[in-house]
A and B are shown apart, each in its own frame.
Chain A
């Protein structure tokens, strides 16, 4: 293949640059998860607190919204949504391109294959990501797009959540969903920092791996606490 691109242009299109994009967007998504988790936990304080927080994010109600008056009333949520959507789309696009390159680099499978180093999380990163995408759509549909049609009272976010998590099978599905999220985060977190060049010694490798397990565990506990509390009747 004769290329007319300069070395600089090729570097921008390289697998490493693509991975850096994936790492950055992935870390943004992890930061979002932590914030989301914090918001969910508000329900443990009270339904009013939870609803107030939800309305504040959206700039509904008269208390004023997030970042007001820096940003006009009600704008924050849309700027934020566009930003998150862009991060997710770029993350997926980079994954698709890298996946295709890996597929093309594989002529045939080994007759025998023994894995020495990779974790279960690393092995399932791609397929897990696809499943996550599908589950995320369902999640958004249920709690953001048409929550009132699903159950609960319009304009009262706590009611949607309490209705859903009052059923054991729903909590179970949610636990599977969160398990997948945390598996993805486990490998993603360590991998992102390695891709961004932070993993420069054996020690750094250990620290990053421990941190990745911690963040994944924190997210799982944080996300499961509220549904379990609802199911157990602690919140109503």
Chain B
């Protein structure tokens, strides 16, 4: 594929901090190569802004390899900006060849009450850490690894667990959800652990504490619209949410978590 240079109009959400109202600012950017990644394009804009003495656009990233989940931007109304492409992607793995000369691109942060905006395109996603800390783990004593053949796991369950475990916690599901529900994120963790033997002892309690925390942090309910799975860079399937629902309903008939605290 040959390199292509293009000129773009960028409409970017600028907000100096959480307390100040934000607004869209327009920037013209010329000489953008089709081989650049979306974040490299933003880097280029930021260099120009810095030279001009303007405040560069703040955005989150870390690995730029599509594996850490740090980068999260709503591009033309779609979290991570895959648009109509058949390929699921993170923002850092989205390339400028998906755009053409003269395009107007609207760039915004995740919008959800539990993810307050810190600055420009950067949001605070610690709510996800709190959900994980409330139950998204297994408690095991360390020591020698158990004999691998002692606990056979069916291929079907292993695949399901691995598919769910690929969640990078980027929060695109929340950003895309019309209700701003965190169900797909919680469902990925619930399904991952529910499919494996290690996850069983805490299974009924885990779902209760994780959903309790999810609701308390202000994430809303799922309406089964399917927007979350459509933007998920790791293609976590929508059916994990049914697994979560199933586990939660089953847990209502289980005593786990009935007496407070020390369980």
A residues sitting closer than 8 Å to B (CB atoms) are 1, 3-8, 10-20, 98, 101-102, 104-119, 122-123, 125, 187, 190-191, 194-202, 204-205
**A6 to B227, Cβ gap below 8 A?**
no
Q: Are A106 and B112 in contact (CB under 8 A)?
A: yes
Contacting pair B215 A14 (CB below 8 A)? yes
Assuming A11-B251, A15-B222, A17-B252, is B113 touching A106 (CB within 8 A)?
yes
Question: B230 on the interface (CB 8 Å rule)?
Answer: yes
Most chain B C-beta atoms within 10 Å of own C-beta, residue among A101, A125, A190, A198: A101
Task: Give the chain A neighbours of B231 by CB distance below 8 A.
Answer: 116
Q: Which residues of B approach A to under 8 Å, CB–CB? A: 11, 13, 24, 74, 76-78, 83-84, 106, 108, 111-114, 116, 176, 178-181, 205, 207-209, 211-212, 214-216, 218-227, 229-231, 237-239, 241-249, 251-252, 255-260, 263
How far is the CB of A63 from the nearest CB of chain B, in Å?
A: 42
Given A10-B208, A117-B230: A197 and B106 within 8 A (CB)?
A: no
Q: How many A-B residue pairs have CB under 8 A?
A: 187
Are A112 and B76 interface neighbours, CB within 8 A? yes
Q: A11-B251, A105-B220 are in contact. List 15 more A-B contacts (CB 8 A).
A: A4-B260, A7-B260, A15-B214, A15-B215, A16-B249, A20-B249, A102-B220, A105-B180, A110-B111, A111-B11, A112-B106, A117-B229, A191-B224, A199-B238, A200-B242
Q: Is the CB of A118 within 8 A of B225?
A: yes
Docked pose: A14 CA to B248 CA in angstroms: 9
The answer to whether B225 touches A16, judged by C-beta atoms less than 8 angstroms apart, is: no
For residue A204, which residues in chain B have a CB less than 8 angstroms away from its CB?
239, 242
Given known pairs A112-B77, A117-B230, A195-B224, the reply for A6 and B258 (CB within 8 Å) is yes
Q: Which applies to chain B's interface (DSSP): helix, strand, loop or mixed?
A: mixed
Give the distance to chain B from A39, nearest Cβ to Cβ, in Å. 31
Nearest CB of A to B95, in Å: 19
Least CB separation from B216: chain A residue? A1
Chain A residues closer than 8 Å to B243, beta-carbon distance: 197, 200
Q: Is the CB of B112 within 8 A of A105?
A: yes
Q: Tell me the smallest distance from the CB of A41 to a CB of chain B, in Å.
A: 31
Beta-carbon nearest neighbor of A5 in chain B: B212
Q: B77 to A114, Cβ gap below 8 A?
A: yes
CB distance from B96 to the nearest CB of A (A): 18
A-B pairs with lowest CB-CB distance, top 5: A197-B246, A7-B257, A15-B221, A10-B212, A114-B77
Contact partner of B245 (CB less than 8 A), chosen from A10, A118, A123, A197, is A197
Nearest residue (CB) in B for A97 is B221
Given A98-B220, A114-B83, check contact A16 B248 (CB 8 Å): yes
Task: Tell me whether A11 and B212 are in contact (CB under 8 A).
Answer: yes
Query: Does A107 lie within 8 Å of B239, measured CB to CB?
Result: no
In the complex the two chains form, what is the Cα distance from A113 to B74 in whole Å? 9
